[in-house]
Amino acid sequence: MAILVFIEQKGGLVRTVAREALGEAVRLAATLGGPVVGVCAAAADPGLAALGEAGASELLLATHASFGHYEPAGYARAVVAAVEKVKPAVVLFSASAMGRDLAPRVAARLGVGLAADCTGLAVEGGRLIASRPVYAGKAVQRVAFTGAPALVSLRPKVFAPAPAQNGGAPAVTPLAIEHDPAAARARVLEVRTGSAGKVDLTEAEIIVSGGRGLKGPENFAMIEALAAALGATVGASRAVVDAGWRPHGDQVGQTGKTVSPKLYVAVAISGAIQHLAGMSSSRCIVAINKDPDAPIFKVADFGVVGDAFEVVPALTEAVKALNARG
Ligand SMILES: Cc1cc2nc3c(=O)[nH]c(=O)nc-3n(C[C@H](O)[C@H](O)[C@H](O)COP(=O)(O)OP(=O)(O)OC[C@H]3O[C@@H](n4cnc5c(N)ncnc54)[C@H](O)[C@@H]3O)c2cc1C
């Protein structure tokens, strides 16, 4: 049976999160068998035919004039139409902002369950088992599926992406759907992007986050400087966001973004459970805090007990010196 992957794209480009889902689909297909089929909703053909290189043998494309932005009901219809056509065993989404909205809509329309924000997939005795962190990352839940298809959303940055596209062409099949945007109960009117050129936190390989211990918004210049030296994106704790020092889009945690970068540097962040919920699956965590008993040190791989105002500039200089050596 096929594995269906929702191909999230932006401006005609496949997003890395979709590539991660494709990569996982290919790995699953090696055990479960069956082809990997992509489904994409777009205003016009975004020219994703090269997805064959990434493992998709077929691409179902639903086009509608209203699909320039994410259109919740229309996109859900497209995925449901693809499910009805392909009858897959598994449907993979990313647990990106779009996937977190779309996957439950599809699950509700199909009347099946969804394992959301998963960090591991395995096939045991021919059955798909999904692992997902619960209780703010304190436990891992293993989920088996009773109905079909099994719907799964994958936490961004946890799964290895399929190789970049540079050729190969799956069959692109138009997918007919009935969609009347005027009748939709929710519509995206406008998309406001954050700072130009800033890599989104959920896609960043390296994040440097600052907390309330930085004492004021002006001191984030120090965090920005370290982030620039490391090629990182800046994040923040909720305390900082609530104080109006940083925009909400920078917030990491239970009520902010869930991130899994290769490197997460937490500066003057205590490590409250709600913050850990958003970053504890990062591959390497470095904490800088003047309190040796700060809970952040319990999840840190490397910890510096010290004053951020001394440690961060010194670290920035050290990184710059390393960069200069090439
Ligand atoms: C329902 C709910 C949802 C929440 N969601 C989130 C969320 O999504 N994200 C989130 O982050 N929080 C969230 N919170 C808030 C969370 O509980 C904490 O209040 C918050 O994370 C604290 O932020 P902080 O670590 O920056 O500040 P604090 O807890 O005040 O910690 C500041 C830290 O800085 C250190 N420090 C001070 N000065 C220095 C210095 N000079 N050098 C080095 N270290 C220094 C201190 O030792 C301390 O550990 C949520 C809370 C609730 C109730």
**DSSP labels, 156-182:** TTTSPPPPPP-S--PEEEE------GG
284 CA → ligand 1 middle, Å: 20
Instruction: Indicate the SS3 state at residue 18.
Output: helix
- Checking DSSP bridges between strand 90-94 and strand 150-154, what pairing results, if any? parallel
pLDDT recorded at residue 167: 54
- CA–CA–CA angle 68, 72, 75 (5° rounding): 70
Query: What is the residue extent of each domain of the chain?
Result: 3-183, 201-325
Kindly report the CA angle at 161 between 156 and 166, in degrees rounded to 5?
135
- The count of other CB atoms within 10 Å of the CB of residue 108 is 11
Say if ligand 1 is within 6 A of residue 208 CB: no
**Structure tokens belonging to residue 324:** 């200069």
The span from the CA of 265 to the CA of 322, in Å, is 18
pLDDT per position as a tens digit, 200-248: 898 899 999 999 999 999 999 999 999 999 999 999 999 999 999 999 9
* 274 pocket-lining for ligand 1 (C-beta < 6 Å): yes
Q: Whose CA is nearest to atom 49 of ligand 1?
A: 270
Which numbered atom of ligand 1 lies nearest the CA of 210?
A: 26
User: Class of the 201-325 domain?
Assistant: alpha beta
Measured at the alpha carbon of residue 108, what is the angle toward residues 106 and 110, in degrees to the nearest 5?
70
Question: Which residues on neighbouring strands pair with residue 41, listed in sequence order?
Answer: 62
Report the pLDDT value the prediction gives residue 187, as an integer from 0 to 100: 83
- Paired with 311 in beta bridges are none
CA-proximal residue: ligand 1, atom 41 (nearest): 307
Sheet with 263-267, strands from edge to edge, namely 233-236, 206-210, 263-267, 284-289, 302-305
Tell me if 212 CB under 6 Å of ligand 1: yes
Q: Give the number of other CB atoms < 10 A from CB of residue 140.
A: 13
Cβ–ligand 1 contact at 210 (below 6 Å): no
- Helices 220-230 and 308-325: crossing angle in degrees, nearest 10, is 20
- Give pairs for 195-201: CB < 8 Å, separation 24+: 198/233, 199/233, 200/233, 201/233, 201/235, 201/249, 201/250, 201/252, 201/257, 201/259
Q: Return the residue whose CA atom lies nearest to atom 50 of ligand 1.
A: 274
The rounded radius of gyration (Å) of the Cα atoms in the chain is 21
pLDDT digits (tens, 9 = 90+) for 133-184: 988 778 999 999 998 999 999 999 899 988 765 556 778 899 999 888 888 8
pLDDT of residue 170: 79
Q: Is the CB of 239 under 6 A from ligand 1?
A: yes
Distance 210 CA to ligand 1 centre (A): 9
Q: What is the pLDDT of residue 189?
A: 84
Residue whose C-alpha is closest to residue 251's, from 234, 263, 265, 232 = 234
Position 79 scores a pLDDT of 98
- What is residue 165's predicted lDDT score, i.e. its pLDDT? 56
Give me ligand 1 centre to Cα 203, in Å: 23
pLDDT tens figures, 276-285:
999 998 999 9
- 225, 280, 224: which is closest to 252 by C-alpha? 280
List beta partners, residue 266.
Answer: 209, 287
The CA distance from 235 to 238, in Å, is 10
- Coil vs helix vs strand at 287: strand
pLDDT at 46: 78
Confirm or reject: Cβ of 258 under 6 Å from ligand 1: no
- Report the nearest-CA residue for atom 26 of ligand 1: 211
The pLDDT score that the predictor gives to residue 183 is 87
Segment 74-95, tens digit of pLDDT: 999 999 999 999 999 999 999 9
CA of 191 to the centre of ligand 1 (A): 29
- Separation of 297 CA from ligand 1 center, angstroms? 13
The residue whose CA has the least distance to atom 30 of ligand 1 is 212
Q: Which two tokens stand for residue 214?
A: 């930085």
User: At residue 129, does pLDDT exceed 80?
Assistant: yes
Secondary element (H or E) of residue 171: strand 171-174
How far is residue 239's CA from residue 246's CA, in Å, rounded to a whole number? 10
Task: For residue 22, give the nearest of 207, 168, 142, 147 by alpha carbon.
Answer: 168
- Tokens 């598994």 correspond to what residue? 90
Q: Is 308 in the pocket of ligand 1 (CB under 6 A)?
A: yes
**Residue nearest to ligand 1 atom 27, measured at CA:** 212
Tell me, yes or no, if the two domains 3-183 and 201-325 fold the same way: yes
- Is the pLDDT at 56 greater than 90? The verdict is no
CATH H-level, domain 3-183: superfamily: HUPs (3.40.50.620)
Number of Cβ atoms within 10 Å of the Cβ of 246: 21
